[in-house]
Chains A and B, each alone.
Chain A
Amino acid sequence: MKRRWNAALWVGFLIVLAAPVTYLTVFVRFPITRDFPWATLLIFCTGLALVGFGLRRAFREAQIYRGKISGSILMTLGVALFGLFLFSTFYMMRQLPPSNGAPQVGRKAPDFTLPDKDGNPVTLSKLFEPGAGGGEGARAALLIFYRGYW
């Protein structure tokens, strides 16, 4: 008797593949699914559970379902992919310098002058002067440092 195709393995693996893809294309754009990637973890777990179900079926009902070898390979790949994702989001992305010397609350922010996108010099302290930006001057400045390399 010809054994049946073990769909759970392949569907599960496709879902596992979809997890990092949707993270990079969709979920990374929204803080709620990026700060803690719960949606991606959920997709990973769903996919792996399905692969696990298929694998169990392949071994327990070997006379009905195929997929002992392919299932083992897909499970290994899936777990490796999941591990890689956890490693990059929970370890690699947290490898940041401590910045102990960064100006703290209550301290003076070091003044500086840098060129803007048109090459015109901009000085932090001058942003607060009346007339800056055509108005009364800023009450505060929010400095946002980016990694860059767009």
Chain B
Amino acid sequence: MRSFQDRLGDFDARRVHLVAISVDPPEIIREHCRKQGYTFTFLSDISSDVLRLYDLVHEKAGPGGTDISRPAEFLVDSQGTVRWVNLTDSIAVRARPEQVLRVVDGLSLGGPS
């Protein structure tokens, strides 16, 4: 997440809006973002509704057997179409910002850049 914050300017320049999502309540997320200095959009899916909608629920994987999200990244264009998906097979291996920026540069996303 730190790596995405560091490259936020590159995403902004391409008008790609970063949206992080976790099951934490907003106040926990606010505190986390404040401490870490994260300025991108960070949403709270406390009821896991969006996780279910995207089939990303990792059952009982959180503390105390709670449901959390599996790590995943989706690039969605302005028509709402998924243009790129990354469903990692290891918690330790996440998409890197450079990887996503290359994907963005290789796509014709439409609209003035």
Interface string of A19-31 (1 = CB under 8 A from B): 0000000001001
Instruction: Say what secondary structure dominates the interface of chain B.
Output: mixed
Q: How far is the CA of A107 from the CA of B85 in the complex (A)?
A: 11
In the complex, what residue of chain A is closest to B91 when comparing beta carbons?
Answer: A93
Q: How far is the CA of A124 from the CA of B74 in the complex (A)?
A: 12
Contact status B58-A124, CB under 8 Å: no
Complex interface: chain A residues within 8 A of B33 (CB) = 117
Interface string of B35-72 (1 = CB under 8 A from A): 00000011111000111011111110111000011111
Complex interface: chain A residues within 8 A of B49 (CB) = 112
Q: Which of B84, B89, B90, B109 has the most CB of A within 10 A?
A: B90
Q: Is A63 an interface residue (CB 8 A)?
A: no
Given contacts A144-B19, A148-B69, contact A122 B81 (CB under 8 A): no
In the complex, what residue of chain B is closest to A112 when comparing beta carbons?
Answer: B50
Contact status A31-B3, CB under 8 Å: yes
Q: Is B9 an interface residue (CB 8 A)?
A: no
Chain B contributes a number of interface residues (CB within 8 A of A) equal to 75
Q: Is A1 an interface residue (CB 8 A)?
A: no
Contact status B26-A115, CB under 8 Å: yes
Instruction: Say what secondary structure dominates the interface of chain A.
Output: loop
Q: Which of A118, A124, A147 has the most CB of B within 10 A?
A: A147
Contact status B30-A96, CB under 8 Å: no
Q: Of A28, A117, A146, which one neighbours B69 at CB under 8 angstroms?
A: A146
Given contacts A97-B59, A108-B82, contact A145 B72 (CB under 8 A): yes
The 5 closest A-B pairs by CB, nearest first: A148-B22, A101-B55, A138-B17, A128-B78, A117-B30
Can you identify 26 A-B contacts, CB atoms within 8 angstroms? A34-B93, A96-B70, A102-B72, A104-B82, A106-B82, A111-B80, A116-B41, A124-B76, A124-B80, A132-B17, A138-B16, A138-B78, A139-B14, A140-B75, A141-B16, A143-B74, A144-B4, A144-B21, A145-B20, A146-B22, A147-B70, A147-B71, A148-B23, A148-B68, A149-B62, A149-B63
> Could you list which residues of chain A lie within 8 angstroms of chain B, going by C-beta atoms?
28, 31, 34-35, 37, 89, 93-94, 96-97, 99-112, 114-119, 122, 124-125, 127-128, 132-133, 135-150
Given contacts A108-B82, A114-B45, A142-B74, 20 further A-B contacts (CB under 8 A): A34-B92, A102-B74, A109-B80, A114-B50, A115-B26, A115-B43, A139-B77, A140-B83, A140-B107, A141-B76, A142-B73, A143-B76, A144-B18, A145-B69, A145-B71, A146-B21, A147-B62, A149-B23, A150-B24, A150-B32
